[in-house]
Amino acid sequence: MTKLVAKSGSRNIHFIGIAGAGMSAVALMMRDAGHVIGGSDEAAFPPISTYLEDQAIPFQPMLSAKNLGPEIDLVVLGGSAKLHGDANPEFVEAVRRGLPIMGFPQLVADQTQDREVTVVAGSFGKSSCTALMAHILTAAGRDPGFMIGAIPSGGGPTGAWGSGPVVLEGDEYIISQADRRSKFLLYRARHLLVTSLVHDHLNVFPTFAEYEAPFIELLGRMAADALVVLRDSPSLRAIADRCPAKPVWYGAHPGEGWHSEDVRFGDTTAFTLVSAQGQRLPLVTQLLGAHNVENVVGVSAFLLSAGLVTPEQLRSGVASFQGIRRRLDRLTASSSVPVIEGFGSSYEKARSAIEAILLHYPGRPLTIVFEPHTFSWRNAEGLAWYDTVFEGAQQVIVIPPPGHGAASHSQLTHDQILDRISETGLPTRKAEGAEQVIDSLRSLTPDSVVLLLSSGPLLGLPDRLPPLMDAQFS
């Protein structure tokens, strides 16, 4: 174990692959703890590249042995396969010099082993819930430590050391190709919030049983007196008995746990939070969509059950939380055709974003610009996702899937994806580049809505498109 001494014994840590969401969050945690941080990455794109600059995180936009100066005494290596092995000159140099090398999950686990850690896990919703929990605790003066795998819309940090409770986004994805354990299994969770359990990451978990297994292990590690809050769903009900602690349940509808009532959608969303004992608390959130109401309910159930905040502190924190970037951000300023960016790394995340748009913009024609960026979207095993994911849209414009890692799985072609969507009867357009997308959107009617859906760079459209739409449809 590499034990870092905070504040008084600063270390100089170099992050290879620092543009990863988790890597940059951990870099901020370590800087907040008093260490000197820096790093490098290749092909970083907004919003993370500009976020690194905004947070004054020094990084080099290329991998080179020269980036590892003589002052470096610890290397944190990202999990991407391209960062490992002889093709990475920084990895080669670190090995040559005998520098300690570890992944960020191990670093986080080592450094937080003496803290009271809450892990937020789930197939979807974990970034939003981690960010919301950290925001409420911060606003309540609890000075939490936290690690969030997405950028808060209000411009705050994704990571902090803090002096209070620690909240970590727990990713089920594997640590690396060489270490197939799920990241969240390293974090020594004292308490747990699980937002969902649906099959994802088909490239590393081909079957649902394989995907479910680390969640079962995580639940099984909890102490009998832990606070374990679970979203009420058949998949989590099926494995809840593996947990030594009695779960606290939450969901969208009345049951044995926490839920919401009287939900009213609009520019803001208002609803009544109902506890498992029947107490009621009116809440207002800036977040869009029914899925975000559930996220608020889950976080509220955890914080109030733990006694970490008062009802009034919860209400204030929920109201002031602006969400996280790429989760239904409105990018246009004056256009009658709003351009909204959603996060579409999986079927469930894409459907949640689409359903939220249909809910908040009822009756308006929806155009989706989609990039099949993750392995799951461009893997042949996930082809059936395209049969229903875009229901409710008027048309879909599909840009090409990226080629990185194509040889490692059953990669779909651009045309195979287009053909599968077209078979559903939904008007589908092929776009090879940003200009084709822009030209297609010029013919929209003023009552249209545009949803950009990806977890990748989307050909730079999140930056290029909004001013063009503001100019045409203001």
Which among 172, 198, 199 is positioned nearest to 185, based on CA atoms?
172
Burial class, 31, CB count within 10 angstroms (exposed 0-12 / middle 13-18 / buried 19+): buried
pLDDT of residue 9: 67
Question: Is the Cα dihedral 262, 263, 266, 270 positive or negative?
Answer: positive
| C-alpha distances out from residue 344 to 362, 395, 420, Å | 21, 16, 18
pLDDT of residue 155: 78
For residue 285, list its beta bridge partners.
269
The rounded Cα 393 to chain-centroid distance in angstroms is 24
pLDDT of residue 327: 81
Kindly report the length of the chain. 474
User: Strands 74-77 and 159-160, how do they pair?
Assistant: unpaired
CA distance 269 to 292: 9
User: Looking at residue 412, what DSSP letter applies?
Assistant: P
- CATH code for the structural domain at 329-473: 3.90.190.20
Which helix H or strand E contains 452, and what residues bound it? strand 449-454
H helices present in 122-266, as ranges: 126-139, 208-220, 234-237
Q: Residue ranges of the chain with pLDDT lower than 50?
A: 1-3, 5-8
Which helix H or strand E contains 43, and what residues bound it? none
Q: Is 142 helix (H, G, I), strand (E, B) or coil?
A: coil
Torsion angles phi and psi, residue 280, rounded to 5: -125, 140
pLDDT of residue 41: 92
Query: For the chain, what is the radius of gyration of the CA atoms?
Result: 22
CA distance 240 to 261: 25
Query: Quick check: 296 and 195 in contact, CB under 8 A?
Result: no
Where exactly are the structural domains of the chain? 12-106, 112-320, 329-473
- CATH match for 112-320 among 3.30.565.10, 3.90.1150.10, 3.30.420.10, 3.40.1190.10: 3.40.1190.10
The reply to whether CATH 3.40.50.720 applies to domain 12-106 is yes
Residue 238: HSE in the Cβ half-sphere, 13 Å Cα cutoff = 11
Q: Is 141 left (phi over 0), alpha (psi -120 to 50) or beta?
A: left
User: Looking at residue 68, what DSSP letter applies?
Assistant: S
Query: Quick check: 369 and 399 in contact, CB under 8 A?
Result: yes
